[in-house]
Amino acid sequence: MKELLKKLTLKEKLGQLTQLAPHFFNEQLKAKLYGKIKDLEINYEELFYLGSILGIGGPKEKKELQDLYLKNSKSKIPLLFMGDVIHGCKTIYPVPLAQACSFNVELVKENAKMAAREAKAFGLDVTFSPMSDLVRDPRWGRVIESYGEDPYLNYSFSKATAKGYQEEGLISCVKHFAAYGLSEAGRDYNTVDLSRVNLFNYYLSGYQGALEGGSEMVMTAFNTFEYLPATINRYLLTNIIRENWGYDEAVIIADYDALLQTKAHGVTKDDKDAAVKGILAGLDIEMASTAYLRTLEAAIKKDKRIIKAIDEAVLRVLKLKEKANLFNNAFSGDDKLLAELINSKEHQNLSYQLAVESVVLLKNENNILPLNKNIKVALLGNYATSNDLLGAWSWYGDTSQTKALNDFFEVEYLSNGEDYQDYDLEKIKKIEAIILTLGEEAKESGEARSKANINLKYSQVKLIKKLKKLGKPLILILFSGRPLILTEIIKDVDALFNVFFLGSNSSKAIYDLVYGSVNPSGKLAMTFPRSVGQIPLYYNHLRTGRPFLNDGNPYSSHYLDEKNEPLFPFGFGLSYSSFVYEDLKIDKSSFTLDELPTIKITILNESKFAGKEVVMLFIKDEIASISRPVKELKQFKKVSFQAGERKEISFKLKYQDLAFYNQDLNYQVEAGDFLVMVADKSLKITLKGDENEDFK
Ligand code: BGC
Together in a domain, 282 and 395: no
Q: Is the pLDDT of residue 34 over 60?
A: no
Which CATH number characterizes residue 418's domain? 3.40.50.1700
Q: Is 256 in the pocket of ligand 1 (CB under 6 A)?
A: yes
Which residues does the annotation mark as catalytic?
Answer: 255
Ligand 1 center to residue 287 CA distance, Å? 9
CA R_g for the chain: 27
Ligand 1 center to residue 180 CA distance, Å? 12
Residue 691: the pLDDT is 65
Ligand 1 center to residue 256 CA distance, Å? 6
Ligand 1 center to residue 255 CA distance, Å? 6
DSSP state at residue 241: I
Which CATH number characterizes residue 681's domain? 2.60.40.10
**pLDDT tens for residues 39-68?**
677 888 999 999 999 999 999 999 999 999
> Going by C-beta distance under 8 Å and a sequence separation of 6 or more, which residues neighbour residue 602?
581, 582, 583, 646, 647, 648, 649
Q: 501, 534, 567 — which closes off a domain?
A: 534
Q: Residue 467 is inside which H or E element, if any?
A: helix 458-468
Compute the distance between CA of residue 66 and CA of residue 105 in angstroms, rounded to an integer.
Answer: 36
Compute the distance between CA of residue 306 and CA of residue 311 in angstroms, rounded to an integer.
Answer: 9
Compute the distance between CA of residue 662 and CA of residue 277 in angstroms, rounded to an integer.
Answer: 31
Ligand 1 center to residue 481 CA distance, Å? 17
425 in a structural domain:
yes
Q: Is 84 in the pocket of ligand 1 (CB under 6 A)?
A: yes
Ligand 1 center to residue 183 CA distance, Å? 16
341 in a structural domain:
no
2 in a structural domain:
no
pLDDT band at 23 (very low <50, low <70, confident <90, very high): confident
Compute the distance between CA of residue 214 and CA of residue 210 in angstroms, rounded to an integer.
Answer: 6
Q: What are the angstrom distances between the C-alpha of 287 and each of 54, 76, 465?
A: 8, 21, 49
Pocket test for ligand 1, best of 128, 183, 207 (most atoms within 8 A of CB): 128
Together in a domain, 79 and 118: yes
**pLDDT tens for residues 529-545?**
999 999 999 999 999 99
Atom of ligand 1 nearest to the CA of 175: 9
**pLDDT tens for residues 273-329?**
999 999 999 999 999 999 999 999 999 999 999 999 999 999 999 999 999 999 999
Together in a domain, 259 and 138: yes
Together in a domain, 330 and 443: no
Q: Which residue's CA is the nearest one to ligand 1's atom 8?
A: 255
Q: Residue 423 is inside which H or E element, if any?
A: none
Together in a domain, 522 and 452: yes
Ligand 1 center to residue 176 CA distance, Å? 9
Q: Is 255 in the pocket of ligand 1 (CB under 6 A)?
A: yes
Together in a domain, 332 and 360: no
Count of CB atoms situated within 10 Å of the CB of 42: 21
Residue 322: the pLDDT is 98
pLDDT band at 28 (very low <50, low <70, confident <90, very high): low
Q: Where are the beta strands (DSSP E) in 297-407?
A: 360-364, 377-380
CB 422 within 8 A of CB 388: no
Q: Which residue's CA is the nearest one to ligand 1's atom 6?
A: 256
**pLDDT tens for residues 224-278?**
999 999 999 999 999 999 999 999 999 999 999 999 999 999 999 999 999 999 9
Q: Which residue's CA is the nearest one to ligand 1's atom 7?
A: 256
DSSP state at residue 404: P
Short-list 158, 162, 110, 160, CA closest to 134: 158
617 in a structural domain:
yes
Give me the mean pLDDT over the 419-430 stretch.
Answer: 92
Give me the mean pLDDT over the 407-432 stretch.
Answer: 94
Q: 302, 336, 370 — which closes off a domain?
A: 336
Domain count, the chain: 3
Together in a domain, 375 and 491: yes
**pLDDT tens for residues 612-622?**
999 999 999 99
Q: Is the pLDDT of residue 36 over 60?
A: no
Q: Which residue's CA is the nearest one to ligand 1's atom 11?
A: 256
Together in a domain, 189 and 271: yes
Together in a domain, 196 and 309: yes
Q: Which domain holds residue 300?
A: 73-336
> Going by C-beta distance under 8 Å and a sequence separation of 6 or more, which residues neighbour residue 666?
694, 696
Pocket test for ligand 1, best of 52, 81, 84, 174 (most atoms within 8 A of CB): 84
Identify the weakest region by mean pLDDT among 185-189, 370-374, 392-396. Answer: 392-396
1 in a structural domain:
no
Computed over every residue of the chain, the mean pLDDT equals 96
Count of CB atoms situated within 10 Å of the CB of 694: 15
Q: Is 175 in the pocket of ligand 1 (CB under 6 A)?
A: yes
36 in a structural domain:
no
Identify the weakest region by mean pLDDT among 3-7, 27-31, 506-510. Answer: 27-31
Identify the weakest region by mean pLDDT among 364-368, 541-545, 552-556, 689-693. Answer: 689-693
Together in a domain, 362 and 324: no
Ligand 1 center to residue 556 CA distance, Å? 43
CB 149 within 8 A of CB 58: no
Q: Is 145 in the pocket of ligand 1 (CB under 6 A)?
A: no
Q: Is 357 in the pocket of ligand 1 (CB under 6 A)?
A: no
Atom of ligand 1 nearest to the CA of 128: 10
Q: Which residue's CA is the nearest one to ligand 1's atom 2?
A: 255
Of the chain, the percentage scoring pLDDT greater than 70 comes to 98
The DSSP secondary structure of 114-162, one letter per residue, reads HHHHHHHHHT-SEE---B------TTSGGGGGS--S-HHHHHHHHHHHH
Together in a domain, 161 and 207: yes
**pLDDT tens for residues 162-188?**
999 999 999 999 999 999 999 999 999
Which CATH number characterizes residue 217's domain? 3.20.20.300
440 in a structural domain:
yes
Atom of ligand 1 nearest to the CA of 173: 10
Residue 39: the pLDDT is 65
Buried b (16+ CB within 10 A) or exposed e, 55-88: bbbbbebbbbbbebbbeebebebbbbbbbbbbbb
Together in a domain, 84 and 113: yes
Atom of ligand 1 nearest to the CA of 176: 9
Q: Which residue's CA is the nearest one to ligand 1's atom 12?
A: 84
Residue 30: the pLDDT is 47
Q: Which residue's CA is the nearest one to ligand 1's atom 10?
A: 128
Alpha helix stretches (DSSP H) within 469-589: 506-515
550 in a structural domain:
no
Residue 35: the pLDDT is 41
